[in-house]
Structure 1
Amino acid sequence: MESSRYLQGMLIMLVAFSTILLTGCAKTVRTLYPPNPDRNDNKTVYVVNNYGWHTGIVLSRKDAAPYLHAFDDFKSARYLEIGWGDELYYQAKKITFWMSIRAAFWPTDSVLHVVALQDEPLAHFSDSDVVALELSNRGFIRLVEFIDNSFALDEKGEIITLGSGLYGTSRFYRAEGTFHLFNNCNTWSADAIRSSGFPISTFYVFSSDNMMYQLKQGMQ
């Protein structure tokens, strides 16, 4: 009986602690978000749900350029779509079962995928689920700096280009951080968005659908 009560008490404490963590990590940073609608320097970024499993962040290259200190490619692009993922899986021409298992259960090296866009994101990704998120200028800078810090640098302080990307005008770059089931492309996107002050939890963003759900709920 005593052991049963002890286990029950531990379970309640665990649930309460988890709730506090999830709630705390979903709090708005009031000094950054939401943006003051009367200001003229607010910025819009876009989160795209690609293929139903991967999210990418799209931002204005012109707005982001002053804060992307490690990254100066695609100067003629209007927008940049940026995603993070497992080095082998993300760059593979053909996905195998072993690649999926390796990416999920082994900490692996990561890459960033950058695509140059000319069209408005909502038009370019008309067949995908896209959320347009308005940020304060300070929040936008914080987000871009997060992305900038995700690029791995060589001994000369330069980004490491790995090769052509998946579609259009795009490239892969060596990234910081290791990829695994609990630190995947969607948790990276959530961390980036959270750096802007937007209230999103990164503790259970395993799927792109959950990422999009949290964004839409947080904007209400």
Structure 2
Amino acid sequence: MKAKLLWVIKLIGKLVLFLVCFIGLYLGIAYVLSSIQIDREPDQGQDVKIYILSNGVHTDIVVPAKNDQFNWTNLVKYHHTAGKDSTAGWLAMGWGDKGFYLQTPTWAELKASVAFKAAFGLSSSAIHATYYRKLNISEQCREIHISRKQYDRLVNHILASFDRDAYGSLKHIVTNAVYGNSDAFYEAVGSYSLFTTCNTWANNVLKAAGQKACLWTAFDSGIFSKYE
């Protein structure tokens, strides 16, 4: 009996050691790769204003709700939000794990099963879209000016992240798990994981638009360090 108990203790110790080493290696790689900056393309114009917005963990890309290039409200409809405020002129979008978005209103309510599935790419993804009337520049909100061609690429990259029905419409997720009166969720393509996080997605959007970005990042701090 003692031998079996000792074996179990040793096994648990090895698992804990492996976990600690894995987390340390992951954080180390994340720090190094997020420190490597992808530079902004040579100036092609500053025709369109966008923002990057963080809640302290997760990065959203904020775009004009509509301009002469693209009207997001035809897809991400105002009436999909509880407030239906058609005066909101800015649209923030972020990609992430669907289970985390819909089942974890606060960190205190995070379930181990949701975290495990999210970490290892075992669940589906969603896009969280939020309308804003205005944004204020702060440590967690940065303004970026890009050219019309760069904005076209940004739009196309985000559009490719949405899942669509047979008619080409976005798949609106009807849920009470929204965060307020101005947001909605949509089905997305791809799976969230430790290596493809919400911030990895936002970083890739910036890359697609030829803006400053990390070589790779899992965290919002990597992105915002490029826009201090």
Q: Normalising by structure 2, what TM-score?
A: 0.71
Please say if 1:145 is aligned against 2:174. Answer: no
Change in 2 beyond 3 A, CA 1:65/1:137: closer
Of residues 126, 129, 133, the one that matches 1:114 is 129
- Write the deviation string for residues 47-101 of structure 1: whole angstroms up to 9, x where unpaired: 1111x21111111112287265972512542111111100101111332233222
Please say if 1:49 is aligned against 2:70. Answer: no
Structure 2 Cα separation of the partners of residues 214 and 105 of structure 1? 28
The alignment partner of 2:59 has SS state of strand
The alignment partner of 2:195 has SS state of coil
Please say if 1:84 is aligned against 2:107. Answer: no
Structure 2 Cα separation of the partners of residues 56 and 64 of structure 1? 22
Structure 1 Cα separation of the partners of residues 208 and 67 of structure 2? 17
Equivalence for 1:215: 227
Equivalence for 2:66: 62
Look up the equivalent residue of 1:88 and give its one-letter code.
Answer: G
The alignment partner of 2:149 has SS state of helix
Aligned length: 183
Of residues 41, 46, 58, the one that matches 1:29 is 41
Structure 1 Cα separation of the partners of residues 163 and 126 of structure 2? 9
Structure 1 Cα separation of the partners of residues 113 and 227 of structure 2? 32
Contact 1:44 1:134 in 2 (8 A): yes
Structure 1 Cα separation of the partners of residues 210 and 99 of structure 2? 32
Equivalence for 1:166: 179
The alignment partner of 2:113 has SS state of helix
For the pair shown, the structure with the greater C-alpha radius of gyration is 2
Q: Normalising by structure 1, what TM-score?
A: 0.73
Change in 2 beyond 3 A, CA 1:132/1:186: same
Equivalence for 1:191: 204
Coordinate RMSD, CA, aligned = 2.7
Of residues 190, 193, 202, the one that matches 1:177 is 190
Structure 1 Cα separation of the partners of residues 100 and 76 of structure 2? 26
Contact 2:65 2:73 in 1 (8 A): no
The alignment partner of 1:45 has SS state of strand
Structure 2 Cα separation of the partners of residues 112 and 168 of structure 1? 16
Q: Which runs of 5+ in 2 are unaligned?
A: 1-31, 79-85
Structure 1 window deviating more from structure 2 (102-111 vs 54-63): it is 102-111
Change in 2 beyond 3 A, CA 1:88/1:156: same
**Percent of aligned positions with the same letter in both sequences?**
23
Structure 2 Cα separation of the partners of residues 64 and 83 of structure 1? 23
Q: Which runs of 5+ in 1 are unaligned?
A: 1-18
